[in-house]
Structure 1
Amino acid sequence: MQKDEKYTVYHGLLCPKETHSMDSFQYFEGFNMRDDDVIAVTYPKSGTIWMQEILPLILNGGDFTPVHTIPNWDRVPWLEETRAALVLNNKPSPRAMVSHMPYHLMPPTFFSSKAKVIYVARNPKDVLVSSFYFHQMASFLDDPGTFEEFFDKFLAGQVLFGKWTDHVKSWRKNNLGDRILYVTYEEMVKDLSGVLIRFSNFLGRELTEQTLEQVVSHCTFTTMKTNAMSNFSLIPRDIMDHEKSPFLRKGIVGDWKNHLSPDQEVKFNTVIKQEMADSDIQFPWDED
């Protein structure tokens, strides 16, 4: 399939036809957001699957049944994808969902509601590397070509959901006040227990120390990788070939150092710095 046969362009953003349709975008735009809805927003490859594992456990007080019995795309669906219309309307409150959409494209009822958002950002160099391997194993995405070629496409924003810089800036320039919590993937790797306490407080959920320990243990990358409801092993090989690259590949911080040349690192840093110049956002990897 040619690239234009694999993607639907939505407000200038590339979205895979395998998981998105004009009907799903229509459902997204008309979605009736509830005040107690919770949305984890990420740029692709920034911890989305992790949040699909974490949110139900915090919202239901540590009941592991959903994460062991319901695939993550139905457990915590992408709001803009085709599965959302099939599962979200029937979900009891509080509903958890994820989205890759930039702030300004969120449905109207989102802005008028009290729904809460957790925005997870990840070092864009690691996002680049993770995206490259994802494109290799997912047949519904275009072939990434060489790493050098994909590197240039990523910086130009010719990838899923556009430029990383546009996405993170859109979610910082908002009027959500205490409805939004910011966290980084790197913080989650470094201190998952501390981050889960922040999530619990933000969502008004009290977890006992024992439950917290159990949730932390379950939500480690190693455990998630073995959970068939979370590792996408249920997806047919002709759609996702895990022999080319597992969907949950490494889940580490700094893998970009094994892939970017010194010249690429300089170029990447220069482009990102220029595009973030109109923002005062500080990330922990900025000095990396």
Structure 2
Amino acid sequence: MDSTMRAAAFLDKGGVGKTTTVAHVGVALADEGYRVCLLDLAGKQGDLTKHFGLWQQAKESDDWPNITTVFQDEWDTIAEQLPDAVDQLIMPTGEGPDLIPAHEGLDGLESLLGSIDDPSERYARLDHFLTEYLDERYDVLLLDLPGSTSNIAYNGLWAARHVITPVRAGPFEQEQMAQLEADLDEIRAGQEIDITLALVLINEYDERQTIDRELFEQLNDDYGGVLAPEQIPSSQDITNAQQEGQTIFQLEQPSQTAQRALAAYRENARTLIDRAPALAKAETEPEAGQL
């Protein structure tokens, strides 16, 4: 790819499968030959890092620099003085993508970022890091964001510009989607940047269930242009693999539902590439004086 495609998994709700989606779409794209890096920004619990069985290793590694460091004023100076600073952030997953793991200090960034008066600077710090330090290394950057609106989430949305939204059938999914649209509209209006929904997909989809079919029909009516071509079926293999610190791409004998999920992830990953064109460098650079 001539430049880097970025996307962030986000919905102001936990437990919808954002982490699982980022992990599997990332591996699917790496299998297609893309250079992929995943960023675990969803908080100190480190779910994406745990998904690849790397949480303990990340905790035992040198505590500095880490993902929180890139949001601080001193990051550019640190990167200049430590030529391998970016390398120290990155861990190979063993499944194709690289990973920048979460850190326990992520939750403490809220107050730091909240103290920055200028929203253009407050929300552009991650974008600056990706533009200056990761874009030339990777074809695809996928961000796993917190399941709530926060300064970290806004940084991720600002930087990614393309949103992946997984949902699960339930009584409040339409309200959550409406809130997502409101959140994106607020960022678009307040920061004058274009953020688009690129992929909406249903996790644990069972077309035999009325509630699942109704959600699909509603999403198809409201978001037909961005609804994933394939929904992700419910499969115990996905949960079991995650508990083992891997994706279902690593299973030697996946069940039939896991095979359907694999095919769906592959197709959705290709669709994401088509819908979320790579950002030209000029589009992602902060304005002069922003940082």
TM-score by length of 2: 0.26
Higher relative contact order (CA 8 A, sep 6+): 2
More helix by share: 2
TM-score by length of 1: 0.27
